Amino acid sequence: NAGVTQTPKFRILKIGQSMTLQCAQDMNHNYMYWYRQDPGMGLKLIYYSVGAGITDKGEVPNGYNVSRSTTEDFPLRLELAAPSQTSVYFCASTGQMNTEAFFGQGTRLTVV
């Protein structure tokens, strides 16, 4: 049971480039989330999904897109990367009932 897996772990992007951060969970969870964490700050919600085919914006969605075509995968797309998107990105998932959310180990992204 791998839990929540994020790839890549590290990435350096140039301004204007695009990339997709991958997130996969093997727990058959309906709810999945993307957060970003800037240095010394708490996590901020970017996008979330309550099930396959359903996504919604969180607190800081600008500059990002998501899709949820399967229960297992919830990729986060960055278009036209900007230095302000330099951050650590965490993916999380949780089941239907009020149970703990599991987090991935994060993707550290630097935009230069």
Q: Which residues bind another protein (CB under 8 A)?
A: 4, 31, 33, 35, 37, 41-45, 48, 50, 56, 58-59, 88, 90, 92, 94, 96, 98, 100-106, 108
Nearer to another protein, 81 or 87 (CB): 87
Distance between CA atoms of residues 52 and 59, nearest Å: 21
* 8 A C-beta contact, residue 31 and residue 49: yes
Least separation in angstroms between residue 33's CB and another protein is: 6
DSSP-based helix, strand, coil % in the chain, nearest 5: 5, 50, 45
Instruction: Please report how close the Cβ of residue 11 comes to another protein at its closest, in angstroms.
Output: 15
